Structure 1
Amino acid sequence: MNYFSSDFKLGILGGGQLGKMMLYETRKWDVWTKVLDASPEAPCKISCNHFMQGELLDYDTVYNFGQGLDVLTIEIENVNLDALEQLEKEGLKVFPQPKALRIIQNKAKQKLFYVDHGIPTAEFQRFAYLSEIEDSIQNGGLKLPFVWKAAQFGYDGQGVKVVREIADLKGLPSGECIAETMIPFKNELAVIVARNSNGETRTYPVVEMEFHPEANQVEYVICPARIDYEVASKARKLALEVAEKIGLTGLLAVEMFQTKDDQILVNEVAPRPHNSGHYSIEASYTNQFEQHIRCILNLPLGGTESKVAGIMVNLVGAEGHTGDVVYENMEKILKLEGVTPHIYGKKQTRPFRKMGHVTIVNSDIDQARKTAQQVKETIKVISK
C-alpha cells in the first residue's frame, strides 16, 4: 500500500500531546490523519487532516470513527475495546491489537499476565473493592506499607498511592484495585520496544527515571541510564520478552525496578509512545513517534541508538496556579546550549498538569544533567 501522499487514511484515538507529536511524523511523510478526542481544544486539533470531537470510551463514537479508515492506532489506552474488536473483525487494522489492550488496560489483568508468563514483577494482591483491603489488613492478610493502584483509568501519577496506614485509604476510589509489595529499589528504569507486524523488533537504550516525590510524576528521564552494562542488557532483554509475549504491534514502554541486588522487575507497561521516550526526538537516530508510525504501517524499523546523551525535563503546572498558562523565563532557558522546549498547546494550567517538556542534549551526560537541573529551576509554568 502507498501511504505517502495518497488516499491512505490513518486514525488516532486520543488528541493529546502524544498524538500531536505523532502528527509531526505523519505530516513529515504526508500521511492523511483523522483524530478523535473529547476536548474541542485538544492539542492534535490543529495538526490533523480531520478532527472529530467525541468520547473515547463510547462504543458508537469509536465504532463510527473507525469507518473508512485503513489503520487505527491510539495515543491513550483508555478507549472502548468492544468497538475496536468489532472494527478489527470487519477488517480494519487496529494497532496495538485489542487483545493486547485487554491485557494492559486493566492493571490487575496486566499483573496476572506477568505471573502466568513467568515475567518477574512485585508481589501483589487483587481486590474487587477498596473496602476489602481494610478487611485484609485487619485480618493479617495484607501488611503495611504497600502501593495501592487503581485497576483502571490511572495516568500521570493518578491512581497510585503509597499506603503506610489505614487512614491513607480514605478518599481513594472504591472500585477494583491491587495492593503491591513495596520494592526497595536502586533505580526506576524504562525500555521502549518497537515491534512491527512482521515481528521485527528493536529496543531503545535503557533510561533512568527520577520522580517527583509528591506528584508521583517523572521529573527527569536520563538516557543512557547510569547503570552497569550487564544490568542494562538484562533490562532490554526482559522488555523484549514482555513485548513478544503480549504480541503487540507498535511501541511498548516497559517500566521496571532495579532492585538492591540488581534484579529487574517489571512494574507496568504502556502500549504507545511514552514520556520516557521524549528524549528521542532530539537524541535518537529514530525518535519514538516516527518509530511508532513505522511499526503500525509495517515499515522497516529505524535505528534506536542515541546520537548523543539526552535528558528530558517535564514541564508541569506549578502548585497554586490554575488558569490561563504563562511560561515564565522561556528566554533564559533558550540561551542554554542543547536545550529544546516542546509546548503541548494546552491553554489552561493546573498543579502538576503536564504542559510540555524540555530536552537537553550533550556529549557529556553529567553536563546534560546539570543543565537539566538549571532548566528545572529556571522555567515556571504559572497562570496569569
Structure 2
Amino acid sequence: MDYFSSDFKLGILGGGQLGKMMLYETRKFDIHTKVMDASKDAPSRLACNEFVIGDLLDFEAVYDFGKKVDVLTIEIENVNIAALEKLEHEGIKVYPPTKALKIIQNKAKQKLFYIDNDIPTAPFSRFAYASEMKDSVEHESLEFPFVWKSAQFGYDGQGVKIIRNMEDLEGLPPGECITEEMIPFKNELAVIVARNVKGDVITYPVVEMEFHPEANQVEYVICPARIDGKVAEKAREIALKVSHKIQHVGLLAVEMFQTKEDEILVNEVAPRPHNSGHYSIEASYTNQFEQHIRSILDLPLGNTDSKVAGIMVNLVGAEGHTGDVVYQNIEEILKLDGVTPHIYGKRQTRPFRKMGHVTIVNEDLKEARKIAQQVKETIKVIARNAH
C-alpha cells in the first residue's frame, strides 16, 4: 500500500502527548492521520489532519471512527476492545492486535500470561474485590508490606499503592485487583521491542529508570542503563520472549526489576510508545515514535542504536499548584549543553500531572546525569496564580 502523500488514512485512538509525538513522524512522512480523543483540548488536536471528539471506551464512537481509517493504532490501552474486535473482523487492520491488547489491558490477565508462558515475574495474588484483601491479611495468607494494583485503568502511578498496614487499605477502588510481593530490587529497567506485521523484531538498548518515591512516577530515564553487560543481555532476551509470546505489532515497552541477585522479573508491559523511550527522539538513530509507525505499516525497522548517551527528565506539575501552567526558569535550562525541552501542550497543570519532558544528550553519561539533576532542580511547572 502507498502510505505517503496518498489517500491512506492512519487512525490513532488517544490524543495525548504520545499521539502528538507520533504525529511529528507522520507529518515527516506525509501520512494522513485521524485522531480521536475525549478532550477538545487534547495535545494531538493541532498536529493531525482530522480530529474527532469521542469517548475511547464507547463502543459506537470507536467503531464509527475505526470504519473510516485503513490502519488503526492506539496511544493508550484504555479503549473499547469489543469495538476493535468487530473492526478487525470486518477487515480493518488494528495494531496492536486485540488479542494482545486483551491480555495487556488487565493486569491480572497480564500476570497470569507471564506464569503460563514461563516468564519470570513477582509472586502475586488476584482478587475479584478489594475487600477480599482484608480477609487474606486476617487469615495471614497476605503479609504487609505488599503492592496493590488495580486490574484495569491504572497509568502514570495511578492505580498502584504500597500497602503497609490496614489503614492503607481504606479508600481503595472496590473492583478487581492484584497484590504483589515487594521485591527488594537494585534497579528498575525497561526494554522497548519493535515488531512489524511480518514479524521482524528489534530491541532498543536497556534503560534504567529512577522513580519519584511518592508519586510512583519515573523521574529519570537513563540510556544506556548503568548495569553489567550480562544483566543487560538477560533483560533483552526476556523482553524478546514476552514480545514473541504476546505477538504484538508495533512497540512493546517491557518494564522489569533487576533483583539483588541479578535476576530479571517482568513488572508490566505497554503496547505503544512509552515514557522510557522518550530519550530516543534526540539520542537514537530511529526514535520510538518513527519505529512504531514503521512497525504498524509493515515497513523495514530502523536502527535502534543510540548516537549518544541520553537521559530523560519528566516535567510534572509541582505540588500545591493547580491552574494555568507556567514553565518557570525554562530559559535557564535552555542555556545548558545538549538540553531539549518537550512541552506537551496541556494548558492546565495539577500536582504530578505529566506536562512535558526534557532530554539531555552528552558523550559522557555521568556528565549527562549531572546536567539532568541541574535541569530537575531548575525548571518548575507551576500555576500562574498560585501563591
Instruction: Please report the TM-score for the alignment, with normalisation by the length of structure 1.
Output: 1.00
Residue matched to 2:234: 234
What are the within-5 Å matches in structure 2 for residues 319-338 of structure 1? 319-338=319-338
Residue matched to 2:134: 134
What are the within-5 Å matches in structure 2 for residues 184-263 of structure 1? 184-263=184-263
Distance 1:57 1:346 in 2: 22
Distance 1:316 1:222 in 2: 18
Residue matched to 1:360: 360
Matched, 1:61 2:50: no
Matched residue SS, 1:230: helix
Distance 2:118 2:166 in 1: 32
Residue matched to 2:170: 170
Residue matched to 1:30: 30
Distance 2:187 2:67 in 1: 44
Distance 1:216 1:142 in 2: 22
Distance 1:140 1:218 in 2: 33
Residue identity opposite 1:90 in structure 2: E
Distance apart, 1:68 and its partner CA: 2.2
Matched, 1:16 2:16: yes
Residue matched to 2:78: 78
Distance apart, 1:166 and its partner CA: 1.1
Residue matched to 1:375: 375
Residue identity opposite 1:8 in structure 2: F
1:334-356 deviations in Å (ceiling 9; x for gaps):
00000000000000000000000
What are the within-5 Å matches in structure 2 for residues 106-145 of structure 1? 106-145=106-145
Residue matched to 2:52: 52
Matched residue SS, 1:187: strand
Distance 1:121 1:205 in 2: 21
Residue identity opposite 2:362 in structure 1: N
What are the within-5 Å matches in structure 2 for residues 263-342 of structure 1? 263-342=263-342
Residue identity opposite 2:355 in structure 1: M
Q: Which runs of 5+ in 2 are unaligned?
A: none
1:291-337 deviations in Å (ceiling 9; x for gaps):
00000000000000100000000000000000000000010000000
Distance apart, 1:131 and its partner CA: 0.5
Residue matched to 2:148: 148
1:6-39 deviations in Å (ceiling 9; x for gaps):
0000000000000000000000000000000000
Distance apart, 1:144 and its partner CA: 1.1
Tell me the C-alpha RMSD between the 2 structures: 0.4
Runs of 4+ in 1 over 3 A off after TM superposition: none
Distance apart, 1:143 and its partner CA: 1.0
Matched residue SS, 1:79: coil
Distance 1:88 1:95 in 2: 10
Distance 1:358 1:167 in 2: 37
Residue matched to 1:95: 95
Distance 1:175 1:139 in 2: 21
Distance 1:68 1:137 in 2: 51
Distance 1:142 1:331 in 2: 51
Distance apart, 1:171 and its partner CA: 1.0
Residue identity opposite 1:72 in structure 2: L
Distance 1:359 1:170 in 2: 39
Matched residue SS, 2:302: coil
1:32-67 deviations in Å (ceiling 9; x for gaps):
000000000000000000000010000000000011
Total equivalences in the alignment: 384
Distance 1:190 1:235 in 2: 8
Residue identity opposite 1:283 in structure 2: A
Distance 1:187 1:372 in 2: 18
Distance 1:250 1:86 in 2: 20
Residue identity opposite 1:182 in structure 2: M
Residue identity opposite 1:291 in structure 2: Q
Distance 1:91 1:313 in 2: 41
1:135-166 deviations in Å (ceiling 9; x for gaps):
00001111111000000000100000000111
Distance 1:279 1:364 in 2: 15
Matched residue SS, 1:273: coil
Matched residue SS, 1:337: coil
Distance 2:36 2:22 in 1: 14
Residue identity opposite 1:95 in structure 2: Y
Distance 1:235 1:142 in 2: 29
Matched residue SS, 2:357: strand
Residue identity opposite 1:211 in structure 2: F
Distance 2:172 2:36 in 1: 30
Residue identity opposite 2:180 in structure 1: E
